[in-house]
Structure 1
């Protein structure tokens, strides 16, 4: 049991650093949390490699005021020798346009040790909700992968916003910030 405790602690530290880099809008710190050959699937996009993740994150942050991401306890599993987790997440978002929204979702994650540190090897984000904090907006119909260690397949899509639109400084609406 000691190994799982150490692994969970390392995952919690990684999540904490992720939330910190997101809050500070720091693309270099954010990208350093991912393995060199990591994959990140979010909002209908599939990024491959630390540099593509860094560039995409930097682009996102132009439209973000602040995001406070809160990770729940990761449900950790060892699958074929690989550390995986399912982590429930909430966010409080304030966008550069002045809009705000809360989100609820799940990160499906695989980890790897690289250069002496635990890093994200694979992340798949499924968003269940985006809207006001009173949870009155519609919830997305997202595939259920069963109990842990149930995990999305490599071709399974991530949630794409269909009814919450962002507006830019000129009043143009789009599904991504």
Structure 2
């Protein structure tokens, strides 16, 4: 095979790989799952949800009041439409509480969510005690941005003690990777 034939073969293979990649990504169809929870927003309680990775799913909320007009204490139906955005795994946590209170939630519902290559969603409910402790590694710029938005965080410095002693962010807590165990991990 001459040089020109090899070049044509490489170009054809490259074009076929682009076509295949395009077909593969075109097979993703967003799908949705509906989750219904009961609550009573007339008493100030509501369901507050957090998504582990917002690039994988989107959640839309709708609340339907089930009581008679003006009746305090009647239940409502909270409907959550979970839509797939891309393939991956994430979690979805619902806490039933008054948003302005600093108390533990009255109820917690935790779901592991998997979005398959074709966009289909599977959701598995886990007991809160089965909830996995997770973390997200971020760049310095993203970390500064996140810290400017929220004051309820703990900044862990997982470098070795001598590196921590040489300099660290004020307020950071030093905890080396090697010393992290289930026993010394505190849940919020």
Q: Structure with the greater relative contact order (CA < 8 A, sep ≥ 6): 1 or 2?
A: 1
TM-score range, shorter chain: under 0.3
| Greater per-residue strand proportion | 1
TM score, norm. by length of structure 1: 0.26
